[in-house]
Amino acid sequence: MNLIESALDLRVFLQEIRQRGDLIDVSEEVDADLEIAAISRRVYEKRLSAPLFSNIKGAMPGARVLGAPAGMLADKEREYARLALHFGLPEHTRPKALVELILAAMQRPPVEPHRVNSAPCKENRWTGDEVDLTRLPVPLLHEKDGGRYIGTYGFHVVQSPDGTWDSWSIGRMMLVDKNTVTGPTMPTQHIGMIRDMWTKQGKPTPWAFVLGGPPAAVAVAGMPLPAFVSEPGYVGALVGRPVDVVKAELSNLMVPANSEIIIEGEISIEETADEGPMGEYHGYQHTKGKAQPLFHVKAVTFRNNPILPICVAGLPPEENHTIWGTMISAQVLSDLQHAGLPVDMAWCSYEAATCWTVVSVDTRQLSVMNLTPRKFADLVAEIYFNTHAGYLVPKLIITGNDIDITNIDEVVWVLATRAHPQTDFIAYPSVPGFPMVPYLTSEDLTKGAGGNMVINCILPEQFSGPIRASTASFEHSYPESLKKHVLANWKKYGF
């Protein structure tokens, strides 16, 4: 099977993971009221195969729910397999290859989407009074959530009024009633910027929401690309082929043609509804919701036997970490390298719930820059915290490239052994921060700053020469010839 097809069509993606034994077809009747979510959470936490629920109590006949679409696997050789398939990559792909693919796509020209006149997402249509989102198996994800979330693994589609900017962006959507939903449109996010453009013209924002879209498009929608960069063209650059799109029912918006479900309508200029609380990506369950913009749903189109994919946010790793964190990593690497810094890898450790990024620095290049540790930290902070990605992730860990920053054990090791408590934990209290960071105080939230930090794990002598001691490990303590011999004979030893 062509893996690129899996990146462009969720149903092909599911066929591939089913053939690999990485999809569980759940035919037992399950309840959308917490049961689906509880099963999915256990799948994340035990790193098991993705569940596809096809017998859901009270749901529209044929409707299905997919859990853990980008969850991790317990098999260390294949742990990133489901994530890698979102990009059309083989199941043994490692993080560096993922980031390098995403980074390379940034250097290529956009591959504009291919417009089609008919599409699978148009097989069924609800308009006007027919619209009833409650017929879909919209799950209650956590016991203390403020409502049912229809959009946890989907993306917004909006366009600037002049038609020059098409934005696809990840966002959550809570069901209000059969034809209204609500969710955040922060002014610092692209959907908020475009909504502001329409509001200044006195018009509600034409809007669509994609559920079960091309896996590669979901990944790109979660990437902090710069403003005015259109995601559809970047999806094509990423997979080397244009994504098929079709005109929406009610506007000139173009949506992925083979999506499972397309919700259409407009974002109200002034109306709001209570949204949340919700169990969040940082692993905490909030107790209070917040008024958010109201989205009026005026049409729904969907495939036969539609699949609603979900992310059950909480302790990592789940899709907020595997998808969002991976895309952020590539953007950080691009931003820092573009600024001329000697950085060769960036990684949002999944275990840190997208609250820190680790950066690997080429210490040979660093040693000729003639900078003190503090001056280098300030230089990196000035660049990082003024990017979209750096705004989202409040802590930056800097280390030498003698460790694998995608290995959380090695990251913990350098944090414990190389960061000096008095000089290497550097706070930047005046830097604007992302308001969803869980440890922010009420004072931080009021002033919009206060939670950002750089942690330097590069020892002082590495700024001018070699490290004081080498790493004692299999990788660093033995000759290459012996390591190859040991690996070649591993099974003979009895392992």
| Beta bridge partner(s), residue 158 | 167
224 vs 352, more confident = 352
Work out the average pLDDT over 430-442: 90
Write the CB contacts of 86 (distance below 8 Å, at least 6 apart in sequence). Answer: 7, 13, 70, 215, 216, 218, 219, 323
Look up residue 436 and give its two tokens.
Answer: 């969803």
Q: What is the pLDDT of residues 85-101, one digit of tens each?
A: 999 999 999 999 999 99
Indicate the annotated binding residues: 168, 172, 189-190, 221, 223, 231, 388
| Beta bridge partner(s), residue 205 | 267
Per-residue pLDDT at 281? 85
Work out the average pLDDT over 384-390: 93
Give the residue extent of every domain in the chain.
3-305, 319-463
Longest dimension (CA), the chain: 74
Indicate the annotated binding residues for prenylated FMN: 172, 189-190, 231, 388
Average pLDDT taken over every residue of the chain:
94
Cα dihedral 33, 38, 44, 50 sign = negative
Q: What is the pLDDT of residues 276-301, one digit of tens each?
A: 999 888 888 888 899 999 999 999 99
Q: Which CATH number fits domain 319-463: 3.40.190.10, 3.40.50.970, 3.40.1670.10, 1.10.3720.10?
A: 3.40.1670.10
Report angle CA 28, 30, 34 to the nearest 5 degrees. 150
How many C-beta neighbours within 10 Å does residue 440 have?
A: 18
Q: What is the pLDDT of residues 155-186, one digit of tens each?
A: 999 999 999 999 999 999 999 999 999 999 98
Q: What is the pLDDT of residues 217-271, one digit of tens each?
A: 999 998 888 888 899 999 999 999 999 999 999 999 999 999 999 999 999 999 9
Q: What is the CATH number of domain 3-305?
A: 2.30.110.10
Tokens 């001691």 -> residue: 469
Write the CB contacts of 310 (distance below 8 Å, at least 6 apart in sequence). Answer: 36, 37, 40, 65, 66, 67, 139, 141, 149, 152, 153
Write the CB contacts of 158 (distance below 8 Å, at least 6 apart in sequence). Answer: 166, 167, 169, 190, 191, 194, 195, 205, 206, 207, 208, 253, 267
Burial call 277-314: b when 16+ CB within 10 Å, e when fewer = bbbbbbbeebeebeebbbbbbbbbbbbeebbbbbbbbb
Per-residue pLDDT at 219? 95
Query: Is the pLDDT assigned to residue 418 strictly greater than 60?
Result: yes
Domains 3-305 and 319-463 share a fold: no
Work out the average pLDDT over 1-6: 86
Look up residue 399 and give its two tokens.
Answer: 């280390």
Look up residue 31 and give its two tokens.
Answer: 């309840």
Query: Is the pLDDT assigned to residue 31 strictly greater than 90?
Result: yes
Query: Is the pLDDT assigned to residue 1 strictly greater than 60?
Result: no
Please tell me the pTM assigned to this model. 0.92
Indicate the annotated binding residues for Mn(2+): 190, 231
Residues serving a catalytic function are 280
Look up residue 100 and give its two tokens.
Answer: 């390098």
